[in-house]
Amino acid sequence: MSNFSELNLSSPVERAVAAMGFEEMTPIQSRAIPLALQGADFIGQAQTGTGKTAAFGIPITEKLRTDAGYVAALVVTPTRELAIQVAEELNRIGQYKRIRALPIYGGQDIERQIRALRNKPQIVVGTPGRLMDHMRRQTLRLQRIEIVVLDEADEMLSMGFVEDIETILQEVPKERQTMLFSATMPRAVQELSRRFMREPQYISIQPKEVTVPNTEQHYIELPEKFKFDALCRLLDIQSPDAAIVFGRTKRRVDELYEALSKRGYSAEGIHGDLAQTRRDSVMRRFRNGTVDILVATDVAARGLDISGVTHIYNFDVPQDPESYVHRIGRTGRAGKSGLAVTFVTPREIGHLRLIETITNKKMKRQPLPSMADALQGQLRLTADRLLEAVAAKQYFDYQPLAEELLEETDSVTLLAAALKMLTKEPDATPVVLTEEMPLPSRRPRAASFSGRRQGYGPRRTERAEASGARREKGYWPQRKN
């Protein structure tokens, strides 16, 4: 089974899958979705970036009732970023069936989450600490959960969330379906599956070799506040025919494409919150060349069939190496060359080194481009256009006036003035972007796609919330004085 059409999905889910651009299933999807639709427990060993979210999101959406009126499915993730990303994709899968997913995580106003929970989403996607906090407050009841997904289980356990996960699983009904996804199978993950899953089937997807042979890869180390000017200067220097700029969040995408438009670039943004008609319009304009620059989130770019992209700009470092490979794979296709440039803040260098280790490709360090570099780039572009016009003999109607002007002014002065008028000078219009926090530090260690993925360090807020939740509900003994 390779195509989604072979799954006999309901019309609303099939429509959503088509709208997302999915046609052929990835290996994990082709093996996991049929098992999930049958109600079986299973363990899926696969890397991030292999289509895991759709592998459990499609069957969950297919099986849940629209009118459930309670939380029927729970997805547990190690980080807030992943919770947001998973919820976005689940909402896209469930958009026509009216199945809603709510992300809940530490660092966000809990009262806002409580209000959102009162709207009775069918799916909750959460980090362990914040899930425990809602359990303690009794604002999230798990007694009617039908499906549980543990996403990136090995990373959660390496972050010290084993007791939290056990507590959460003890609160949900035993008669449930459990799906566990993990990049590796350490003993702790095996023990967790033994205790909380019913005769789970095992799926192992061997990762393919990661290669991006036709894409030249550069990086620029710079502070967050210099990123936008650096991007504009690169666009002026390189003059890409079609470029994708990747941002980490929807807010980032909105602010970036509006700022680029303000400085005179032809740009549009795309992310998971766009209506389908708007999304189709943006993609149509990008494909036909009306728009030169597409600003996108990782989730929005999945499943898009885009040809002719010459440049990729990673305005924000991606969450994981697999996402990086997915991003830069958008260029350098069909034997053509491509260029990918990644902006890295000093605190994120560890992520860059890990990406280099995983892809077995050393990126070239590139200096921060200057205003003078940008002007020279635009001058070269203008000169090339003039030479193209000469080669195409598109100047005869203008020749009499040119001869008249040459009687008054020498040719070098006249040509210099023409270059001055035709060249787009770098625009320094002030723009303000909301600063994004750098990714948590990640130590670059020897790794491969088949080896253990290195997880983020535990967040203080998550650990504090988890500790408080366990103590108040009696999961941990109170400390004796």
* C-alpha span between 241 and 87 (Å, rounded): 33
Higher pLDDT, 326 or 104: 104
Question: How much is the pLDDT for 440?
Answer: 59
CATH for 208-449, options being 3.40.50.1000, 1.20.1600.10, 3.40.50.800, 3.40.50.300: 3.40.50.300
Confidence of residue 14 (pLDDT cuts 50, 70, 90): very high
Which sequence spans correspond to the domains of the chain?
A: 4-204, 208-449
Q: Which two tokens stand for residue 379?
A: 């001058």
pLDDT at 214 over 90: no
Say what angle helices 128-137 and 162-171 make with each other, to 10 degrees.
Answer: 40
Read off the pLDDT of each residue in 47-58 and give the average, rounded to a whole number. Answer: 82
* C-alpha span between 106 and 460 (Å, rounded): 9
Domains 4-204 and 208-449 share a fold: yes
Four-residue CA torsion sign, 132, 153, 83, 357: positive
Reply yes or no on domain 4-204 having CATH 3.40.190.290.
no
Say which range, 137-146, 163-172, 343-352, 402-411, has the weakest mean pLDDT. 402-411
pLDDT at 462 over 50: no
Greatest mean pLDDT range, 177-181, 295-299, 409-413: 177-181
What are the DSSP E strand ranges found in 237-308? 243-246, 267-270, 293-296
pLDDT at 256 over 90: yes
Bridge partner list, 221: 344
pLDDT at 134 over 90: yes
Q: Are 293 and 313 in contact (CB under 8 A)?
A: no
Mean pLDDT of the chain: 84
* C-alpha span between 268 and 281 (Å, rounded): 10
Report the half-sphere exposure of 183 (CA within 13 A, side-chain side). Answer: 24
- pLDDT digits over 361-382, tens only? 889 999 999 888 878 878 887 7
135 CB-near residues (< 8 Å, 6+ apart)? 142, 167, 168, 171, 469, 473
Say which range, 197-201, 241-245, 278-282, 460-464, has the weakest mean pLDDT. 460-464
Confidence of residue 170 (pLDDT cuts 50, 70, 90): very high
Q: Specify the amino acid at residue 294.
A: L
Confidence of residue 471 (pLDDT cuts 50, 70, 90): very low
Q: Are 447 and 354 in contact (CB under 8 A)?
A: yes
pTM: 0.53
* C-alpha span between 88 and 66 (Å, rounded): 18
